[in-house]
């Protein structure tokens, strides 16, 4: 049995993220990262983590975040605003579930960098007020760009993130299929397999800045849903990345690099297990939980068809009310229950199930508004204010 990681419950950031991901790598499990698009899907993930005794990641994609803010909103900052809204919801409710939560943003291609910039702006504002960033981590997916450009942009952003201790996930090598408007269905098959040299080039560029980063190295992964065996995964390649990096660095650690896995739908249990043993600490889950959420609704509608054809009138009588069936809290809950069960499957496959006993707070013990600003030093603030005033006056003369 794995000794639980000593991290707080609720959203964790900075050193605690490193501590948790290192604990996962050292103890042979990975943390599932579930894409969420609403308070309902966030709550389902949190409930699953609490039910199955697992740390968890909640992540927002660009399209999912735009959906969160509202499909009718066409503002250029809609996705950033939706990401912030999702993050604030999770921060407000996560402590009640008693498990550690990593708040993450998913694939950000080059064309989506304004979205990334918006989230970083929110991180900086939150950091200034609360002493930690709003999000725990962000992902840059510049895998469609030449390696040199991909790494250079990651370096530029990592320099901004490192002072706030925000984890950076990056991708080198391409995940096939289509997700959230990024289509790699016709990509050259060779690009679906990242080389050890490519992975090390990322490490070499980012390590001097900080150690809080992970690499999504492609090993045949494909987004979307496929029958097991229909996707040619080669997770054994991941161990070669670790061996190559260990030799180049001269490290005593057999797995010096934090790796992540994308496109896990259709992967066999053995393939997932091999990837985790090679140092994968996170796996994205989206397609399977999307289906599970819908399937819970579908089954409810099928079971209660005759009670869902009008506000009144059902097998009990022409004037019998149906509100107890069409109330969104009823059928959305069925969707959540189905998603919770599927989240549990991922937690079991990744070995995170049972690694963290929930520490739920005593009823009424948490402040309803659980956001505490950092206490400022009035003297320091006054000195800094005076310095800025003098600098301003000197600039005018």
The catalytic site residues sit at 106
Q: What are phi and psi of 138, to 5 degrees?
A: -140, 155
Q: What angle do CA 131, 136, 138 make, to 5 degrees?
A: 125
Q: What angle do CA 273, 276, 278 make, to 5 degrees?
A: 110
266-289 burial by CB neighbour count: b if 16+ within 10 A, else e?
A: bbeeebbbbbbbbbbbbbbbbbbb
Question: Alpha helices of the chain — where are they, by DSSP H?
Answer: 15-27, 39-51, 62-69, 78-93, 113-130, 147-161, 196-206, 236-249, 269-277, 287-303, 323-326, 328-350, 378-396
Query: In the beta sheet, which residues pair with residue 162?
Result: none
Helix (H) or strand (E) holding 312: strand 312-314
Distance, in Å, from the CA atom of 20 to the CA atom of 18, rounded to the nearest integer, reads 6
Tell the residue number behind the tokens 């009424």, with chain if given: 364
Q: 144 to each of 69, 141, 149, 172, 190, how far by Cα in Å? A: 28, 8, 10, 8, 13
Say which residues have a Cβ less than 8 Å from residue 247's Cβ, sequence separation at least 6.
none
Tell the residue number behind the tokens 């009588």, with chain if given: 317
- The three-state secondary structure class of 80 is helix
Distance, in Å, from the CA atom of 217 to the CA atom of 233, rounded to the nearest integer, reads 12
């Amino acid at each position: 049995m794995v000794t639980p990681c000593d991290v707080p419950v609720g959203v964790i950031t900075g050193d605690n993220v490193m501590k948790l991901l290192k604990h996962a790598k050292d103890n042979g499990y990975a943390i599932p990262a579930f894409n969420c698009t609403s308070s309902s899907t966030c709550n389902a993930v949190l409930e699953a983590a609490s039910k199955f005794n697992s740390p968890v990641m909640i992540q927002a994609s660009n399209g999912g975040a735009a959906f969160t803010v509202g499909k009718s909103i066409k503002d250029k900052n809609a996705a950033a605003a939706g990401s912030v809204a999702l993050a604030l919801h999770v921060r407000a409710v996560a402590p009640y579930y008693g498990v550690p939560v990593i708040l993450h943003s998913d694939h950000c291609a080059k064309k989506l960098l304004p979205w990334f910039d918006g989230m970083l702006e929110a991180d900086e504002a939150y950091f200034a007020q609360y002493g930690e960033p709003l999000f725990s981590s962000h992902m840059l997916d510049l895998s469609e760009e030449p390696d040199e450009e991909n790494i250079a942009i990651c370096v530029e952003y990592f320099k901004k993130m490192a002072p706030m201790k925000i984890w950076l996930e990056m991708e080198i090598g391409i995940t096939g299929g289509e997700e959230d408007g990024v289509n790699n269905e016709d990509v050259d098959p060779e690009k679906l397999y990242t080389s050890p040299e490519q992975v090390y080039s990322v490490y070499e560029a980012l390590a001097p800045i900080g150690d809080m980063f992970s690499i999504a190295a492609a090993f045949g992964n494909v987004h979307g849903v496929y029958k097991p065996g229909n996707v040619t995964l080669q997770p054994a390649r991941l161990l070669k990345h670790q061996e190559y990096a260990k030799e180049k660095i001269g490290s005593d650690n057999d797995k010096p690099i934090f790796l992540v896995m994308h496109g896990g739908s259709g992967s066999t249990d053995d393939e997932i297990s091999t990837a985790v043993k090679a140092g994968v600490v996170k796996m994205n889950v989206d397609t399977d939980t999307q289906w599970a959420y819908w399937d819970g609704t579908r089954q409810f509608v099928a079971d209660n068809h005759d009670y869902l054809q009008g506000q009144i009138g059902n097998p009990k009588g022409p004037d019998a009310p149906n509100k107890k069936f069409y109330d969104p809290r009823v059928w959305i809950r069925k969707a959540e229950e189905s998603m919770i069960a599927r989240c549990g499957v991922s937690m079991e496959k990744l070995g995170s199930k049972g690694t963290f006993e929930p520490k739920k707070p005593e009823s009424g013990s948490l402040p309803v508004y659980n956001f505490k600003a950092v206490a400022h030093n009035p003297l320091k603030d006054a000195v800094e204010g005076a310095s800025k005033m003098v600098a301003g006056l000197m600039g005018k003369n």
